[in-house]
Amino acid sequence: MHKNSDTAIRNTYNGAEAMLRMLEAYDVRHVFGLCGDTTLPFYDALYRLDHNIDHILARDERTAAYMADGYARASRRVGVCEGPSGGGATYILPGLIEANESSSAVLGITTDVSVSSYAKFPLTEVDQEALMRPLTKWNTVVKRADHIPRMMRRAFRNMTTGRPGSAHLGIPYDIQYDPVDVADIWADETHQSFPAWRAAPEPGAAQAVIDAILSAKRPLIVCGGGIVIADACAELDKLASRLDIAVATSISGQGSLSDLHPNCAGVVGSNGGTDESWELIQLADMVIFLGCRAGSTTTARWEAPGRKTRIVHIDSDPDTIGANYQTEVGVVADLRLALSEINRQLDADSNTIKRFGGAATVKEIKRRKFARFASLARCPDVPIRPEVLIAAMQKTLPSNTIVVSDPGTSCPYISAFLQSSEAGRRFITNRAHGALGYSLGAAIGAWFARPQNPVVAVMGDGSFGFSAGDLETLCRLNVPLMVIVISNASFGWIKASQHDDCGARYHNVDFSVTNHARIAAEYGLKSWRVTEPNDVADTLTLALAADGPTLVDVDCLALELSNAPVRRWMG
């Protein structure tokens, strides 16, 4: 509730008010953003009108977009971020391209210079429509205020249907004061969440999938993020269990099954996969890709599956099917509807059920994988091995914790070894473009989506430098996150690559040792610095029990010395 009520009977809103009312019509509850000159009318509407939208002030437009992305992934509702013209538009862009390529429905609203000043070289002028066009699913710069409602509807329709993605609306300064007919303020409620307007498989497609699977000897299911996005985890569990098929995932596909499910082998591929899990994809005579692009990371740059492996592929995006592998059976459909139909047909013809022994294979693979992990997780050496941190997280984090990771040091270790007992969205990371500084903003957004869940942001010290300013946001809003910083005073991923690819010729990858706990304390967080392995679990326990935001700075072994679960470094 805001200071002033909009109680008068009105026939028109101005453009800024119409934007707010359209967001309200789509049941948007949070807008993440940063103020600017061109946004003044919109902020004034937020102040004056009576509404239930919380505006979350970030310290960087990139972080605001990451907040919206984390919110969307954790809630399957549209995440909304906003920023001003010029630098605001260019800064908000990284979050929109990440969301788009990760099938996350995020709306970026950037205000713009006035239409009346176009081509007059006003301050902060940039061609926003051209800037955003190749990097979003849909975008436009609105030139007339009375077009705002229809363009907002088009944005929500595009973000939530088919393969979800990001959209951009540019709103010039002057049209925010022009009139909009109140009668045009309405929304299609089916586009408040995603995926909307789910497409069922065409007749015969489910049976074709069944026939192909039952003719295989060693099938393997590989899930991308599409299973979690489509909320198809229960249908996958039923299929994998009844046929006893092993299931592996991409990084984005984590949570398709509980990590403790007997058929779940965990992450496969070049980042977060291990030698043991890689055996599955090498030995499979059929790979069933479910909501997975079969991109470079999951397949270790298409090393496996091999050319002779039979491929079945189900995805809501027709562009992914056959893009990298000749596909025997391709089905364009929503994953939940497709798997439900497959299970229905198997229910109707139980005589054809075949079991492939996937659980026994997965059990042996996990036994060897986690025996090796456990020996490293007990290592008493300093600096602390990353496995020690992962084991401490496993021991201390509640089962419903949402873990958000930057793409650097933390991502492969969490993907390989941290196990969630629950299916669904329990792990969030920005694997599409891998920008540093993602996890803090995305974790804040995830908490606003699911405040009942503990949320942990894990980052390297390189990423800390990109996002430290929003520790103030964390404290100002008293968001009870735990931030874990893996400190090794380097851009570890690049240094490890220089170690293996360039004969350890390190160039410009190291920076000064920093006490991140002290920095966090100045912002107002309760913080700890950990240098001894035996102190990690106890410190995480203290941080989890504390009120408000916390940060734990862990002095970790450098990535190039760690034998991380990254395929080209393992050996």
* CA separation, residue 404 to residues 252, 271, 422, 431 (Å): 12, 16, 16, 12
In the prediction, which pLDDT does 3 show? 52
Specify burial of residue 107 (Cβ count, 10 A radius: 0-12, 13-18, 19+): buried
Residues 295-347: pLDDT tens digits?
A: 999 999 999 999 999 999 999 999 999 999 999 999 999 999 999 999 999 99
Of 472, 473, 402, 462, nearest to 436 by C-alpha is 462
In the prediction, which pLDDT does 7 show? 45
Residues 367-379: pLDDT tens digits?
A: 999 999 999 999 9
* Beta strands at 310-315 and 286-290: parallel, antiparallel or unpaired: parallel
List of domains in the chain: 12-191 (3.40.50.970), 205-361 (3.40.50.1220), 378-561 (3.40.50.970)
- Whether the per-residue pLDDT at 100 is higher than 50: the answer is yes
- Whether the per-residue pLDDT at 438 is higher than 90: the answer is yes
- Whether the per-residue pLDDT at 5 is higher than 60: the answer is no
In the prediction, which pLDDT does 6 show? 55
pLDDT-based confidence at residue 567 (cuts at 50, 70, 90): confident
Average pLDDT on 457-477 reads 97
For 498, the 3-state DSSP assignment is helix
pLDDT-based confidence at residue 569 (cuts at 50, 70, 90): confident
Average pLDDT on 80-90 reads 97
- Whether the per-residue pLDDT at 421 is higher than 90: the answer is yes
In the prediction, which pLDDT does 8 show? 52
- Whether the per-residue pLDDT at 240 is higher than 90: the answer is yes
Q: CB neighbours (10 Å) of residue 399?
A: 12
pLDDT-based confidence at residue 9 (cuts at 50, 70, 90): low
Query: Whole-angstrom Cα distance, residue 536 to residue 385?
Result: 11
For 533, the 3-state DSSP assignment is helix
In the prediction, which pLDDT does 360 show? 98
Q: Which range among 346-350, 428-432, 509-513 shows the weakest confidence by mean pLDDT?
A: 346-350
With a pLDDT cut of 70, the percent of the chain lying above it is: 98
- Whether the per-residue pLDDT at 102 is higher than 70: the answer is yes
With a pLDDT cut of 90, the percent of the chain lying above it is: 94
Average pLDDT on 150-178 reads 98
Token readout for 313 is 């592929």
- Whether the per-residue pLDDT at 437 is higher than 70: the answer is yes
CA angle 286, 273, 246 (to 5 degrees): 35
For 203-226, give one letter per residue: b (16+ CB within 10 A) or e: eebbebbbebbeebebbbbbbbbb
Q: Which range among 5-14, 30-39, 268-277, 524-533 shows the weakest confidence by mean pLDDT?
A: 5-14
Query: Whole-angstrom Cα distance, residue 29 to residue 419?
Result: 32
Name the average pLDDT for the chain: 96
In the prediction, which pLDDT does 353 show? 77
Residues 246-266: pLDDT tens digits?
A: 999 999 999 999 999 999 999
* Beta strands at 219-223 and 246-249: parallel, antiparallel or unpaired: parallel
